[in-house]
Chains A and B, each alone.
Chain A
Amino acid sequence: MRFGVVVFPGSNCDVDCYHALRDVMGQDAEYIWHKADSLDSFDCIVLPGGFSYGDYLRSGAIARFSPVMERVVEFAQSGKPVIGICNGFHVLTEAGLLPGAMLRNRNMKFICDNVYIKVENSGTPFTSLCRDGQVLKVPIAHWDGNYYVDSDTLREMEENNQVVFRYCSPEGHITDESNPNGSLQNIAGVCNREGNVLGMMPHPERCVEEILGGRDGIVIFQSIINYLKGGKAGGKETL
């Protein structure tokens, strides 16, 4: 499968995503410069983390005007999978591909730590190999991870099963103590109505090798690969 990792000026997890996909998952991966005008050869687009345009103005606000983003919107509308991680999530909300917005963490500080997230929807292309309710240990590293959305939209999202991950305790309880950044209802990742665009604040590419302290990120990448190979999203074979 062919993954495209978009490089905006200021992206800094592009290399990590590339490495995870290519060297760990054994997939074909390529960098896509933010001025690229075609995504035809790709099966999945990754918007990586970092500080696109220095996070100036607002995280993701400038990157969404990069030429490549028009193509990313078309790519998403055609039903192919797009995953935005951390700053990539910001870009997706700014581009209108995902609902909601991100506020500064409630303690007003950057947080880098391992957290636990619970899979709330195992029917997406990104979680199809997870069990419903499975708990993953994945690192976060962000200033603006405090997800917010108005209550009407939230209700719609809940009805459509668009909340994919929530912060939880190691045992899988959704509690305020396990919410690192004040995110609304512990939301850590959401998808669009169609389910083919995912945004998540935690970094799965940082936990794909035992030497880095865990491999829980693998199930997410493997789910995408499985989906692209024709395995149905929502298929319940577990890793």
Chain B
Amino acid sequence: MEKKPYEKVGLTSEEYQRILDILGREPNELELNMYGVMWSEHCSYKNSKPVLKMFPTSGERVLQGPGENAGIVDIGDGLAVVMKIESHNHPSAVEPYQGAATGVGGIVRDIFTMGARPVALLDSLRFGELDNERTKYLFEKVIEGIAGYGNSIGIPTVGGEVYFNDCYRGNPLVNAMCVGLIRHDDIKRGTAAGVGNAVMIVGAFTGRDGIGGASFASAELNEESEENRSPMQVGDPFMEKLLLEACLELFKTGYVVGMQDLGAAGLTSASSETASRGGSGMDIDVALVPRRETGMIPVEVMISESQERMLVIVEKGKEQEVRDIFEKWGLHSAVIGRVTDDGMLTIRENGEVVGRVPAKSLSEDAPVYHREYREPAYYKQLKDLDMESLEMPGDYNDVLVKLLRSPNIASKKWAYRQFDNMVGTCTVVGPGSDAAVIRIRGTGKAIALTTDCNSRYCYLDPGTGGAIAVAEAARNLVCSGAKPLAATDCLNFGNPEKPEVFWQFRLAVSGMSEACRALDTPIISGNVSFYNETDTDAVFPTPVVGMVGLIEDTAHITTQAFKDRGDVIVLLGENGEEAGGSEYLKVIHGLEKGSVPVLDLEREKKVQDCCLELIRNGLVKSAHDCSEGGIAVALAESCISGGKGARVAFEGCGRSDLLLFGETQSRILVTVEEDRLEDLLETAGRLGVSAAVLGRVEDEGLEISVDGQKMIGLSVKELETNWREALQCIMDQ
């Protein structure tokens, strides 16, 4: 059956009726297409909005919460951090190099449109298992795409994460986060105001690439996807670098009223969103938009997603000054219209009106859906884990080595060595530690950055999993010496029209919200990516948390590496006996099930506060969070990073395998010089945090015993080689 015109642009009959009500007439093709892209989930959040209201989004340091191009949080001295994370999953599934590259380009523009200089990039990536050529190809090309774009524009890629699980085989996740620095006085917003002010388009020319990308991102991937897609957006990092420098120079003139990136839904979203935020209207002529293809019709110009373009609202009469700056940087700019006060978005072609709709109706009046939700059948089934049937390991060394070789735990240097993580000369701690650290020039401060999400936990228990993602991000920052300030989130889920998926979504957001409240880290920006499904399955719910923390004094910067022989190793927090959802269970027993680790937010907060106070008092020489692979892997990682050994003894309580490899939350390994140990224990006691002396840093070898029995004895070289070579070996095969 022939699809109705509104169906072709991804709208339902109810949505079409809504448009008829708004306009009081039938929309023409251009108008219908504009509603199609703007009312897609990707642009309108029509399915997620009611749920996202659960997030805490304000706080005394929050200068800009969700709703702008990026969120902003105060770091003192008149300075602020601007940050956001965004997905580019579907483009990366189809064309991994360009998909990842343009993902980086888009998030960088979101940061500098606010007036900030981007100072760091992070990437949170998920792929299928690396047991087939297709997945390896996707992984390889995504990494190259990030390198190709990020390295060229000169923003260091300092951190992130990569996980591998079969659920991502057909639908990898590529989330890019960018962080910028700005003075409070320089903050700009994406607003169009002031009747008669000029609307300019600058940067790359407009072509037919990426037409309807927002709608493409709002449907499941299937065989048709290959056919449906318009030409992919192609990134031009050189153009972006020029645009970045030109825009930052332009802001200094004071002539800019507002600026917005032409991202998803291109000129349609940039024009309607800026007008809508400014409570104004806009009158633009598509014939004035510089193009790189001939014969483009108005609708193509309006929804093209050609990269590296900006919409700039400029004070009337200052157009020439603005042009001159862009010209200096070799960039083209053109006045395409004016700001009006009639609330309408008027589109002309050579002066003749070809479309006219209320600007606000595109950006704010999309329907909001309260989707149905239902507990999936798997939820209770997978909780059931018969511990008795789990065989105890015969050889603990072998288990530790296998875990260190698991691509989820092994060194990711194969990937991050391809990223310029030092350009800008502010990277104090690069990839490979708990969090990346960037110093703030001209101050004694630094910021710490991380992204986190264990999606297996989120699958088994979305609420606890979501909360753990937040808690782990904050814990990683604390381990680097930072106080967590604020978060940005990228919520990657399946099709929200399926009640089971929506159930995951609601619970995950609710769990994250609770943790954000408890840890005082409001969500200041974010992105929702639904429809991450292939013909068969949805991906695990993957609510990635990006977080920033403030290090008041660069002297407090702490890493996970063991430092000196004789330092005492202390565990903050308490060991448990939890197997569910662990990497150990997956790698050694082939199971992805069980109850995920319990998260007690009150205890979590205490452990984090304690660790931070100890660091600030100069007591801590290394700090490392216990996460995937448990305390044994955490010890091994600290040995490897520091090129040191350790001798550690545990008092047994229950199963040794779960003691060593279980992933009980709220635990941090710290080291302290022997003569400061009493101070440390006293502080922990005063703060109500359990602190147990485990052993000492040695020059060579990791030895772990439980109840006097030696369980693990490996040289640091063995640990290091296995951990370092595993991923490289797989990719070289």
Q: Could you tell me which A residues sit within 8 Å of B by CB distance? A: 9-10, 12-13, 15-16, 19-20, 49-51, 53-56, 109-113, 139, 141, 143, 203, 205-206, 209, 211-212
Contacts and interface: CB of A to CB of B under 8 A. Distances in A.
Contacts of A143: 151
B424 A15 contact: yes
A203 B422 CA distance: 10
B152 A55 contact: yes
Interface stretch (B35-43, B234-242, B456-464): B234-242
B598 interface: no
B418 A54 contact: no
Name the interface size band of chain B. 20 to 34
B419 interface: yes
Contacts of B521: none
Nearest to B140: A109
Given A55-B152, A211-B439, A9 B422 contact: no
B153 A109 contact: no
B252 interface: no
B428 interface: yes
A12 B425 contact: no
17 contacts: A9-B329, A10-B238, A16-B423, A51-B152, A51-B238, A54-B241, A109-B144, A110-B148, A110-B419, A111-B417, A112-B151, A112-B416, A112-B420, A112-B421, A113-B417, A211-B439, A212-B427
A54 B152 contact: yes
Given A9-B242, A50-B154, A211-B554, A110 B147 contact: yes
B330 interface: yes
A54 B241 CA distance: 9
A212 B241 contact: no
Contacts of A205: 425
Contact of B241 (A12, A111, A141): A12
Interface string B401-439: 000000000000000111111111101100000000001
B422 A206 contact: yes
Contacts of A111: 417-418
A225 B152 CA distance: 30
Of A53, A56, A139, chain B has the most CB atoms within 10 Å of the CB of A139
A55 B148 CA distance: 11
Interface of B: 144, 147-148, 151-154, 236-239, 241-242, 329-330, 416-425, 427-428, 439, 441, 554
Contact of A16 (B148, B417, B424): B424
A85 to B, nearest CB: 12
Nearest to B236: A54
A212 B416 CA distance: 18
A12 B423 contact: yes
Contacts of B147: 109-110
Contacts of A112: 151, 416-422
Contacts of A16: 423-425
B420 A141 contact: yes
B144 A51 contact: no
A114 B30 CA distance: 54
B420 A51 contact: no
**CB-based closest 3 A-B pairs:** A12-B154, A54-B238, A51-B152
Contacts of A9: 238, 241-242, 329-330
B566 to A, nearest CB: 24
Contacts of B154: 12-13, 50-51
A182 B633 CA distance: 35
A143 B419 CA distance: 10
Given A110-B147, A110-B151, A211-B439, A206 B425 contact: yes
A108 B422 CA distance: 20
Contacts of A113: 417
A212 B425 contact: yes
A141 B425 contact: no
B71 to A, nearest CB: 26
Contacts of A203: 422
Contact of A54 (B237, B419, B441): B237
B334 to A, nearest CB: 20
B610 to A, nearest CB: 26
B180 to A, nearest CB: 15
Contacts of B421: 112
A203 B424 CA distance: 12
B241 A110 contact: no
A55 B151 CA distance: 11
Nearest to B557: A211
A110 B423 CA distance: 14
A113 B148 CA distance: 16
A202 B417 CA distance: 15
Contacts of B422: 112, 139, 141, 203, 206, 212
B636 to A, nearest CB: 22
A177 B425 CA distance: 27
